[in-house]
Amino acid sequence: MKSLILLCSALLLTIPAHAAQLTLELGADSRTWQTEELLKHPQARIIEIKDDVSYKRDMSYRAVPVSALLTGIRADDHLQAVALDGFAAEMPAAPLLNTAGAQAWLAIEDPAKPWPPLAEGKPSAGPFYLVWTHPQAGHISPEQWPFQVASIKRLAAVAERFPALLPDPKRAATDPVNRGFALFQKNCLACHRLNGAGDSQFGPDLNIPYNPTEYFGADFLKRYIRDPQSLRRWPQAKMPGFSSSVLPDAELELLLGYLKHMAGRKQPGQ
Sheet of strand 149-155: strand arrangement: 31-34, 21-25, 149-155, 78-83, 88-92
Q: Say how many C-beta atoms besides its own lie within 10 A of residue 93's C-beta.
A: 17
Q: What percent of the chain has pLDDT over 90?
A: 72
> Is 143 in the same domain as 28?
yes
> Is 242 in the same domain as 200?
yes
Of the residues 155, 189, 223, the one at which a domain ends: 155
Q: What is the pLDDT of residue 18?
A: 66
Residue bearing the bigger pLDDT, 9 or 93 = 93
**Secondary structure class of 86 (helix, strand, coil):** coil
Containing structural domain, residue 148: 17-155
Q: What is the pLDDT of residue 235?
A: 60
> Is 151 in the same domain as 164?
no
Q: Give domain status of residue 45, yes or no.
A: yes
Rounded to whole angstroms, the Cα distance separating 180 from 170 reads 15
Average pLDDT taken over every residue of the chain: 89
Q: Give domain status of residue 124, yes or no.
A: yes
Peptide bond into 127 cis (omega under 30): yes
> Is 50 in the same domain as 70?
yes
Which band of pLDDT confidence, cut at 50, 70 and 90, is reported for residue 6? very low
Q: What is the pLDDT of residue 233?
A: 64
> Is 140 in the same domain as 231?
no
Q: Give domain status of residue 9, yes or no.
A: no
Of the residues 155, 189, 218, the one at which a domain ends: 155
Rounded to whole angstroms, the Cα distance separating 242 from 140 reads 12
Sheet of strand 103-108: strand arrangement: 45-49, 59-65, 103-108, 128-133
DSSP state of 159: H
Which is nearest to 147 in space by CA: 120, 182, 94, 108? Answer: 108
Q: What is the CATH number of the domain that holds 202?
A: 2.60.40.420
> Is 150 in the same domain as 163?
no
The residues near 78 (Cβ < 8 Å, ≥ 6 apart) are 90, 91, 92, 93, 154, 155, 156, 157, 158
Residue 250 host element (H or E): helix 249-262
> Is 108 in the same domain as 35?
yes
pLDDT, tens digit (0-9, with 9 covering 90-100), for 118-135? 988 889 999 999 999 999
Q: What is the CA radius of gyration of the chain?
A: 20
> Is 93 in the same domain as 206?
no
Q: Give domain status of residue 235, yes or no.
A: yes
The residues near 138 (Cβ < 8 Å, ≥ 6 apart) are 95, 98, 101, 102, 132
Q: What percent of the chain has pLDDT over 70?
A: 90
Is the Cβ–Cβ distance between 15 and 59 less than 8 Å?
no
Of the residues 134, 155, 176, the one at which a domain ends: 155
- What total number of domains does the chain contain? 2
Q: Model-level pTM greater than 0.85?
A: no
For 127, left (φ over 0), alpha (ψ -120 to 50), or beta? Answer: alpha
Q: Give domain status of residue 270, yes or no.
A: no
Peptide bond into 209 cis (omega under 30): yes
Q: What is the CATH number of the domain that holds 142?
A: 3.90.420.10
Q: What is the pLDDT of residue 2?
A: 41
